[in-house]
């Protein structure tokens, strides 16, 4: 992903070598420590060249606040997969 900028403090990011599934009690935001529920797809990133591999996850509010990311609702059940052109 290119162009992704982090406006927070990297020294406050807790990098982990475990990778729990969303919804597990240990699935927490690496920045604020909030629980990441099962119905969330967290922003995840890994440290390049770390051994063992280190991962950070960000809850929706932190992903929005510090990375400027936005989430949108999925199309309704009546969506046929075709984009509307007008």
Largest CA distance in the chain: 51
Is the pTM higher than 0.85?
A: no
DSSP character string of 69-82? ----PPPPTT--SP
What pLDDT, on a 0 to 100 scale, did the predictor assign at position 10? 93
Give tens-digit pLDDT for 13-57. 999 888 777 778 888 999 999 999 888 888 999 988 888 889 999
Q: Residue 81: is its pLDDT beyond 80? A: no
**Model pLDDT, residue 76:** 67
> Higher confidence at residue 75 or residue 47?
47
**Statement: residue 80 has pLDDT above 70:** no
CA dist 56 and 28 (Å) reads: 9
């Amino acid at each position: 992903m290119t162009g992704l900028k982090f406006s927070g403090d990297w020294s406050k990011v807790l990098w982990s070598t475990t990778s729990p599934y969303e919804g597990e009690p240990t699935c927490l935001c690496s920045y604020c420590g909030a629980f990441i529920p099962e119905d969330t797809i967290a922003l995840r990133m890994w440290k390049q060249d770390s051994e063992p591999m280190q991962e950070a996850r960000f809850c929706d509010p932190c992903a929005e606040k510090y990375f400027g990311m936005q989430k949108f609702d999925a199309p309704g059940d009546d969506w046929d997969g075709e984009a509307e052109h007008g």
